[in-house]
Amino acid sequence: MNCIFCQIVAGTLPAAVVYRDEHCMAFMDVHPLGAGHVLLIPQSHVEKLEQLPGFVRQHLYQVFDGLLAAQRRAGYGVEGTHLLVNDGRATNQHIPHAHLHLIPRKRGDGLGFAGRLLLHFTGVFGRRAKLEVLQQQAAGIAEQVRVPWVSETPIGGR
């Protein structure tokens, strides 16, 4: 398979993994728009989110929400985060595998961010981040992941 994301899911390409379960996988973007930039993908290959079964899509959104909270607890995106979905080729989706971006932002990063975003839109992407750096960021975020759909309070309040 020549889909980069499917190769990451299969373990044939390296990735700095933040989270993985039976339906989805989150890992650091190798061309980050900022420190802590995470991609969340379904494990099954679909180009658009609407092609996923509803329960998988709902699960993906729950994980997306949990990852956002984990990023912030790890110190990324405390001031703000771009939640970006490029769903289909007309949206500059360069890898035809559904994916969601969690891009931490901070005050004053506008000019550098705009330049990196322009590179992303053109498909040039710029320089790759070092895997060791991405693995450190992934570990910090992964430590903060709380499974959001499991209540911390047992049913009945005890």
The CATH number of the domain holding residue 122 is 3.30.428.10
pLDDT for 157: 41
Assess contact for 9 and 41: CB atoms under 8 A. Answer: yes
Q: Would 57 be classed as within a structural domain?
A: yes
pLDDT for 155: 38
How many structural domains are present in the chain?
1
Q: Would 81 be classed as within a structural domain?
A: yes
User: pTM for the full model?
Assistant: 0.84
Exactly one of 59, 97, 99, 120 is catalytic; name it.
99
Q: Would 72 be classed as within a structural domain?
A: yes
Partners of 55 in beta bridges: none
Can you list the alpha helix ranges (DSSP code H) found in the chain? 4-10, 54-73, 110-122, 131-142
pLDDT for 82: 86
Q: Would 103 be classed as within a structural domain?
A: yes
> Torsions phi, psi of 103, nearest 5?
-115, 105
Question: What is the residue-averaged pLDDT of the chain?
Answer: 85
What domain range includes position 121?
Answer: 4-143
Q: Would 148 be classed as within a structural domain?
A: no
37 an active-site residue?
Answer: no
Which candidate, 16, 36, 12, 34, places its Cα nearest to that of 26? 16
pLDDT greater at residue 22 or residue 127 = 22
pLDDT for 92: 77
Which pLDDT tens digit goes with each residue over 75-132? Answer: 998 898 989 898 988 887 889 999 999 999 887 766 565 555 655 555 555 678 899 9
Which pLDDT tens digit goes with each residue over 43-60? Answer: 999 999 999 999 999 999
Highest mean pLDDT (candidates 12-26, 72-86, 136-150): 12-26
pLDDT for 2: 87
Q: Would 121 be classed as within a structural domain?
A: yes
Buried b (16+ CB within 10 A) or exposed e, 86-109: beeeeeebeeebbbbbbbbbeeeb
